[in-house]
Homo-oligomer: A and B are copies of this chain.
């Protein structure tokens, strides 16, 4: 992979999901940076929150992240903003994700280093920055939910706590902009299984059986929900190296069958790396040798990338 670009995915969440003009000005601040490829923008008016997905190399991402933080601070005033999500800042969360073959070959450690550079740069803008995930500077800061605990409303007292001193930036809060969590993590896949029942209790029991927190498979977060007329096991797979999509699905299938239910269909939300799709084929076809270079499109794109 010596000729491959050193790419990462950035998936910032910012606290504006209703005002389309503000949202597009914020996205534009990233889009104009050379070497940045915006792959997605999803706004949620209910949570008054948007998620932007972009890919690039370290330098471009650093520049885009600073531009994004500036734009969020300019466009959003958290002291008047309303939203149900437990946000703590205008630019709320900024995770960096390493990308493997065939696109690139960066590691979680590379992403953590990038997160620290970005955190330092955003801190210099005057925003308190907390590092989390693989970039965390202490074990109690690894979990994003712990870092954001209490959200924006509790932040002005929390920032005084010696355990929650920001990693970068000022130790006092601008009420308009709040604080930012900058982190590094593996690719996260949102994967939902719909059951052939409308009984949400079955989905809740299955979710509890498969999720890590209650003794299930590693790196699965799961909830039982009712979506339309069907019970849904809604999952986040937070580390596909530990629990792949097929492993999660087979665990859900077994658990559901124990309750007399079956998985009727599934859905993947957002983008999924090719490696995760290949793992599905390897599993169900008993095809251990399938690799990215066997995919025509990957071979073609690689031939255009290499001189």
Q: Which residues of A contact B (CB under 8 A)?
A: 9, 37-40, 55, 99, 102-103, 187, 245-246, 249, 263-268, 270-274, 277-278, 280-281, 283-290, 294-301, 303-304
Specify the chain B residue showing the minimal Cβ separation from A271: B296
Residues on B with C-beta less than 8 A from A289 are: 267-268
Q: Shortest CB–CB separation between residue A60 and chain B, in angstroms?
A: 13
Minimal beta-carbon separation of A302 from chain B (angstroms): 9
When the two chains form their complex, are residues A298 and B297 in contact, meaning their CB atoms are under 8 A apart? yes
Which listed residue, B245, B265, B278, B303, touches A286 by the CB 8 Å rule? B265
> Chain B nearest CB: distance from A210 CB in Å?
15
- A102 pairs with B287, CB closer than 8 A: no
- Least CB distance from A238 to B in Å reads 16
Main secondary structure of the interface of A (DSSP, over half): mixed
Residue of B with least CB distance to A301: B301
* Contact between B294 and A266, CB atoms less than 8 A apart: no
Are A284 and B284 in contact, CB atoms less than 8 angstroms apart? yes
Q: Indicate if the CB atoms of A277 and B265 lie closer than 8 Å.
A: no
What are 24 A-B interface contacts by the 8 Å CB criterion?
A37-B304, A39-B296, A39-B303, A40-B299, A103-B297, A187-B296, A249-B285, A267-B289, A270-B294, A271-B294, A271-B296, A272-B295, A273-B295, A273-B296, A274-B274, A274-B297, A274-B298, A277-B277, A277-B281, A277-B295, A280-B280, A284-B284, A297-B298, A297-B301
Whole-angstrom CA separation of A39 from B306 in the bound complex:
12
Contact between A38 and B271 (Cβ–Cβ < 8 Å)? Answer: no
Instruction: Return A269 CB to nearest CB of chain B, in Å.
Output: 9
3 shortest interchain CB distances as A-B pairs: A284-B284, A37-B303, A271-B296
> Contact: B284 with A9, CB < 8 Å?
no
A245 proximity list for chain B (CB < 8 A): 285
Of the candidates B103, B285, B299, the one whose C-beta lies within 8 Å of that of A39 is B299
- Report whether B296 and A272 are in contact in the complex, using a CB–CB cutoff of 8 Å: yes
CA distance A187 to B267 in the complex (A): 27
B268 near A286 with CB under 8 A, answer no
**B272 to A287, Cβ gap below 8 A?**
no
